[in-house]
A = this chain, B = another copy of it.
Amino acid sequence: MATLKTWVSVPENSDFSIYNLPFGIFSLKNDEPRAGMAIGDQILDLAAISDLGLLEVSAAYFRQKTLNDFIALGKKITNKVRLDIQGLLVSEKSPLRNHPEVFLFQKDATMHLPVHVGDYTDFYSSIEHATNVGKMFRDPENALLPNWRHIPVGYHGRASSIVVSGTNIHRPMGQVKPNTEELPSFKPSKNLDFELEMGFIVGKSTELGERISTKNAAEHIFGLVLFNDWSARDIQKWEYVPLGPFLGKNFASSMSPWIVTLEALEPFKVQGPEQQPEVLSYLKYKGKKNYDIQLEVGMSTQTSDETVISKSNFKYMYWNMMQQLAHHTVNGCNVNVGDVMASGTISGKVESSYGSLLEISWGGKKPFKLKDGSDRTFIEDYDSITIRGFAEKDGKRVGFGEVSGTIVPSK
């Protein structure tokens, strides 16, 4: 990775370095949402840069409230836009130096969902998470179900309730039935949880009947975001047999606003865990397909400043994104630009790397301490959860910013 220097002022340790340049949708007061690119603590107004004649893509693609049409132009074009802007931010003679009006401050902007999500799929690809959940929900001796090492298990989630970072989440009401009760009752969820996940945004559509191979999958992945798959464990536990999670999940999922392109993450590729037994041939892959992205979860409450309650890494995933996409389409299921496919909870081997409160508090049996000395098992009203993530190598940092959300009481 060549070293690049930009004439733009970028704070030290910024997630949005010259190596990153993620895409998002922002608005200023009284303005319509439009496309932007993050650099340091600023946003580049892509439509304004296009209006200057500095990009090969018409400003009309950037004056939209989602990135779908831009992404659908294809990687050849979207990568060129990103690299052209990188060039403009590096060149000392850049015409952008005479156009300060294309730079806006992130603190003045409201961020929106970057894409319209047609379909949302959630995988279950961390072996540590699947094992932990299996131990608690099912049989401690046979925690991992027989299909798990053969299939990147996934299920369809609700696209309509995906919200952008910063959106308050109402505690869901629902049916719960503790083991001690004979009949279910209707009440606010008591075991409200987060799930530390990452999601990828589909960048190239397929037709019904078409398959994506692990080899070609990268062409279909535009970029990644941080993802919090809020989960009401008590609702989930009662409802999920036999057809899977439903109301325990679909009240909300939160997404970080900046899509970090797969190309920006290229330098951070690493080998994934060994897969045993050998997978079927349509799931085999060559080369490094995992990504070394450091993740952390912070929890703050009405009484306590933020406490970091988990440190994990995207590289732990047993099943990688290429395998997920190959599996999802192996039966001919079609995908569309803007679809979101989330990883499932990303847990590591040690307790400090568990990606959900279900695991951290072991089903509520082991309360943990926050900074002010108070105890928690699950999320209480007005608690906030913030997920952060970044990759770093040779002093070069490519990060995601954060996805945060505060739980407010049931309506």
Contacts and interface: CB of A to CB of B under 8 A. Distances in A.
Contacts of A124: 243
Copies in the complex: 2
Contact of A153 (B137, B154, B243, B332): B243
A163 B208 CA distance: 9
A175 B280 contact: yes
A13 interface: no
A382 interface: no
A147 B246 CA distance: 13
By secondary structure, the A interface counts as loop
Given A159-B159, A186-B280, A244-B244, A170 B333 contact: no
A150 B184 contact: yes
A247 interface: yes
A351 interface: no
B119 A333 contact: no
Given A145-B241, A280-B186, A334 B160 contact: yes
A97 B49 CA distance: 57
22 contacts: A118-B160, A137-B242, A147-B238, A150-B177, A150-B183, A151-B175, A153-B246, A155-B243, A155-B244, A158-B333, A161-B333, A170-B208, A173-B330, A183-B277, A184-B280, A186-B281, A208-B252, A209-B411, A243-B245, A247-B331, A251-B333, A252-B332
Given A161-B334, A186-B281, A186-B330, 10 more contacts: A118-B118, A118-B160, A153-B243, A155-B246, A160-B339, A161-B208, A161-B333, A208-B251, A211-B411, A251-B332
